[in-house]
Structures are given as structure tokens and as C-alpha cells.
Structure 1
Amino acid sequence: MKAVSILPVLALLAAAPAVAQIPDGGITFFGEATLLSDYRFRGLSRSEGDPALQGALTVQTDSGFYVGGRGTTLKGIGDVMVGDFGDAELDLYAGYGFNLGLGTSVDAGLLYYYFPDGEGKTDYFEPYASISHQLGPVQATAGAKYAPEQAALGDQDMLYTFGEIEAGIPTTPLTLTAGAGHQDAGAFGDYWNWSLGARAALGPLQAGIRYVDTDVPEEVPHADAGVVLSLGVRF
């Protein structure tokens, strides 16, 4: 097995200060490190149902621009892609978020999926956009991610549309979550995925539980329903 390329990312996160802001610079760093019981990407497991480590670091300006990366350990499986993903996934992103007022905000950017030790054509990019509305403790988000034709996608374009709802329970550290998404991968077919869950925040500590399912046929590996547990720290 090749060395897991995500380890330098996790080491960087572990050494980062808690929500550090550059004085008078208008720049803030956000990070997190999480242990997952299973890594689900749009309802499908990319860790073969086994635990995975995930870390992320984002740099954001006061004006709304941001750039960052998120790394996750894998089990070397593939998806609708042509090649083998290898043992790590690194999602690089850059975007811009802004408020429209009255509790509504918009976010748009570009994602690049990079698999350091993947075999074959695995890396691809995907623009995204979403709109969110906050009403009291409830936030609803709808969005889309569109990947144009690329070799890693079997020369098919791919559209993922999704909706999410989060509701914080007043006077408690609990937040309830629900979401659904539809993946259309052209000649590779399409499917739905959905989830229900809850998470608790105790200072920088984050714990969560989600039930995840899809309508992918049972004979397809890594697509069956499951419960995903998470435990991490945000800084």
C-alpha cells in the first residue's frame, strides 16, 4: 500500500491555532480534524464501510472570499470514474460567499478533487453554487454542483443537486439535520441519496450521528444504508 498522502494535511491541522485571525488583516483561519466511522460521498462509501480520518483548513477574508482544502483517507475504491482513487482524497476549493440581507446568503466557487496516489484518470474539477436562508434556529440550503465532461468522469458531464435543512434546538448544544441529493452522471446513470442526523457542539468538540441511504440497487457495493458516527475538533 502506498503512503497515505493525507497525513501532512492532518499534521498541519493539528499544529494550527484555534480560529486564528491576523490582526488588522481581515483574514481568518478555520480548521477541523474528524474521525468518521464511514466516509460517505453523496451516499456512497469511499472507505468500504470502515473508519476514515478527515481534516480541513480554510482561509477566509472579511470580504467573503475563501480558499482551502479538505483531506480524507480512502480504501482505494472507484466510483463512476475510470480509475482507482487510491488511499487519499484531497478536495481543494475556492469561492465567494455574501449576504443578500433578511437572512439570505449565496455561496459559489470551484472544487478540485485530487487523488494523490490514484491510478488512471481520477482528478476532476466541479463548480458549485448554493443559496441559504436562515429563519430563527432553522437554516435551509439548496444548491447544485456541475462537473463538465472530463476524462475522470468517463467523458460524461455530472450534475449533483441537493437540499439541506438544519435546526438548532434552543438552549441545547444539539442541531438536527436532514438532506437529500440527486446525482446524474450521464451514461453511468442517476440516483438519489438522503440522510437524517444530529450533532452536538461542546466548545471545540463536535460529535454527530447520521443515517444515510440511497436508491442504488442492492447489488452495487458501498451503496447500502448505514449509520455514520463522527467525532472531531474544530479550531
Structure 2
Amino acid sequence: MSFSLLRRQRVLAAVLLVPASAPALAFTFGGNAALTSDYVWRGTSQTQGDPAVQAGLRLAGDGGWYASLWGSNVEFAPETHASSEFDAVVGWSGALAADWALDVNLTHYRYPSTTLDLNWTEANATLTWRGIGWLQVARSNDALASGDAGTYLQLGARWPLAETFRLEAAAGWYDLDAYDDGYAHGLLSAVWAFKAPFELRLSAHATDTAAKRLFPDLAGTRIEAAVQATF
């Protein structure tokens, strides 16, 4: 056997052994899907009160880092020609202490079908206590693609009433520099986990008069029903 052939065999053997000895990277995949009677976001309808089909995928790695992609149909003013929304998210989530957890992420909202530039990006942080209560803070220098800043705050809680039934409630405030104004909204949801991984959700949404002034016909009081699944 020649020296060059022996050297090639040793290199090949080393290459084959490296994957076996290298630490494996652990990734987990998940997703969600929903059919809802109305896509309501921060108290306002994104579909003019019409139904929406929604789905998302999530890839999580070691150390709490994750990336996700979520999509839904939308219906804005006719001149925007917007019919779809895709949210791309990169972030980190993990435990801070025995009772506290934190999720921080960057969310990019994209509307590929529109003829206008409606895309924008937002930084989010959500602090959760015992999986029961949460505080969310979000900030963007281009809120709603307006070119001006916006800050969103939400305080929420969930109450398990039975093994398959729970209530959820949240109150939010959205301060929008583009309008020199802000608005408040609230929601109350009843969730029935009737058969894993499926759930039925019935939500009542309400906004203040400022929201009705800023977003006529999209804000106010409305009921949303949805069937959703997380896997």
C-alpha cells in the first residue's frame, strides 16, 4: 500500500468518526393552526369582521432560542390590496426563577400582497408568573408601518376551572405617536380543551372610544369564536 493511499484512508476514517463524537444539536418542531370567525389583534379586527384561517410553525433549539413563522388572511382598506399577513419571529424564552419566565423576541410583520409598504418590525418582551399571569411590553419605531413610534402594554391572567376548561382575561394599552393618541382594549375568553390538541375558544373584545375614533368599523365590541390546535 502506498503512503498516499494510506493517508487518504486515515483522513476518510477521521471524517467519518467526527459526527459520531461531536455533540448533537437538539431541535424541536411545533406548530399551531386555527379557524376563527374574526381575526382580532389588540382589540381591532384585521379582517373587517370576516373569518380567518391561520397557521404557524416553530423551531426551538438548545438554550431557549427559537424561530417561528405564522400566517393569516387579512382584509384592510380596498386600496391597500392586502390579503395576507406573515409574522417572522426570532427570540429567546426561558426560566428566570422558580416562578418566573421571560420571552423576548423580534417580530417582523409582512404583507406580501399589498401595493403599499405596510411591513414593520417590533421588539417584544413578556414576563410570566407561574404560567398564570403575564405582562407584555412591545415597542416599535415604525408602529403599524406609520414611520412613528408605538408602545404596547398588556396585562393578562388565566384561571384553570377544570381539567379541560379555563378562563383568560387581558387588558391592553396601545400608545401611537402617529396619531398623537392611544387606546385601551380588553378581552375575556373561555377555552374548552375538548380533545387534545384541539380547543374551542370564545372571546369577547371591547375597546374604548379612542379606538373607535382611530379605527372606525374595526374597533368596538365584538365576539370571536375559534377552533385551534397546538402540536
TM norm structure 1 = 0.81
- SS of structure 2 residue aligned to 1:63: helix
Q: Does the Cα contact within 8 Å between 1:161 and 1:182 map onto a contact in 2? A: yes
Shift of 1:149: 3.7
1:206 counterpart (199, 206, 211): 199
Q: Which residue of 2 aligns with 1:20?
A: none
Q: Which residue of 2 aligns with 1:64?
A: 64
1:106 counterpart (75, 94, 102): 102
1:96-155 per-residue CA deviation (whole Å, 9 max, x = no partner) reads 011012210011010000001112120000011111101xxx6100021100147x6332
Q: How does 1:18-29 map to 2 (within 5 A)?
A: 25-29=25-29
1:191 counterpart (183, 192, 196): 183
Q: Which residue of 1 aligns with 2:34?
A: 34
Counterpart amino acid of residue 198 in structure 1: A
- SS of structure 1 residue aligned to 2:178: helix
Shift of 1:76: 3.2
Counterpart amino acid of residue 185 in structure 2: N
Q: Which residue of 2 aligns with 1:216?
A: 209
Q: Which residue of 2 aligns with 1:52?
A: 52
Counterpart amino acid of residue 124 in structure 1: W
Shift of 1:161: 0.7
Shift of 1:215: 0.5
TM norm structure 2 = 0.82
Q: Does the Cα contact within 8 Å between 2:121 and 2:142 map onto a contact in 1? A: no
Tell me whether 1:158 sits opposite 2:150 in the alignment: yes
- Paired residues, number: 203
Tell me whether 1:76 sits opposite 2:67 in the alignment: no
Q: Does the Cα contact within 8 Å between 2:149 and 2:178 map onto a contact in 1? A: no
Aligned CA-pair RMSD: 1.8
More helix by share: 2
Shift of 1:163: 0.9
Mark the runs of 5 or more structure 1 residues left unpaired by the alignment.
1-23
Tell me whether 1:175 sits opposite 2:175 in the alignment: no
1:28-51 per-residue CA deviation (whole Å, 9 max, x = no partner) reads 111111100000010000111111
Shift of 1:93: 0.3
Q: Which residue of 2 aligns with 1:146?
A: 139
Q: Which residue of 2 aligns with 1:92?
A: 88
Counterpart amino acid of residue 154 in structure 1: S
Counterpart amino acid of residue 73 in structure 1: N
CA distance in 2 between counterparts of 1:206 and 1:196 reads 16
* Runs of 4+ residues deviating >3 angstroms: 216-219
CA distance in 2 between counterparts of 1:104 and 1:86 reads 39
Counterpart amino acid of residue 214 in structure 1: T
Counterpart amino acid of residue 230 in structure 2: R
Shift of 1:85: 6.3
The structure with the larger Rg is 2
CA distance in 2 between counterparts of 1:60 and 1:85 reads 34
